[in-house]
Structure 1
Amino acid sequence: MRHSSSRVLIIGNAPIEKELAEQVDSFARVVRFNHCAGLPKHLGTKCTDLWLTGRGKQAQRLANQAAVIAPCLLEHVMITDPVPNRFSQGFYKAIRRQGNLDYGATLLVKYAQAQSKSRISRCSRENLLIYLLGLGKPEHTPRWPSSGALAINHFVSMGYHVHIVGFGFQGWKRHPWELEKLYVEQLSLQGHLSYL
Structure 2
Amino acid sequence: MPVSRRIVIVGNGDIPEGLAGVIDSANMVIRFNLCRSAGRGGFKTDVIAACNTGRPALDMLAGGRWKASETVRQAQEIWCVRTSEVFAAMRGVLAQSHPDLDDFCDDYTIGFETFAEATGRKLGRIPASVHHAVDAALKAYDPTPYVVPSSGLIAIAHVLENVAEQGDRISIAGFGHQGWQWHPFAAERRWVNALIAAGHLDRLDS
Structure 1 residues not aligned, in runs of 5+: none
1:142 and 2:149 equivalent?
no
Match of 1:183 among 163, 167, 191: 191
Give me the whole-angstrom Cα distance separating, in 1, the residues matched to 2:137 and 2:6: 25
1:169 and 2:147 equivalent?
no
Give me the whole-angstrom Cα distance separating, in 1, the residues matched to 2:113 and 2:198: 35
Letter in 2 for 1:8: I
Match of 2:105 among 97, 100, 121: 100
CA shift, 1:21, in A, is: 2.1
Give me the whole-angstrom Cα distance separating, in 2, the residues matched to 1:172 and 1:109: 29
CA shift, 1:109, in A, is: 1.2
Give me the whole-angstrom Cα distance separating, in 2, the residues matched to 1:146 and 1:69: 24
Q: Note closer, same or farther for the CA distance 1:38–1:130 as it changes in structure 2 (3 Å cut).
A: closer
Structure 2 residues not aligned, in runs of 5+: 96-100
Q: TM-score, normalised by structure 2?
A: 0.79
Give me the whole-angstrom Cα distance separating, in 1, the residues matched to 2:110 and 2:169: 30
Paired position in structure 2 for 1:123: 129
Q: Which moved more, 1:162-171 or 1:15-24?
A: 15-24
Q: TM-score, normalised by structure 1?
A: 0.83
Q: Deviations over 1:113-159 (max 9, x none)?
A: 354212222222012111111x22222x1222111111111112244
1:82 and 2:83 equivalent?
yes
Q: Deviations over 1:73-116 (max 9, x none)?
A: 32321111112449x69xx9xxx933331112102211323542
Aligned residues: 186
Q: Note closer, same or farther for the CA distance 1:185–1:4 as it changes in structure 2 (3 Å cut).
A: farther
Give me the whole-angstrom Cα distance separating, in 2, the residues matched to 1:175 and 1:108: 26
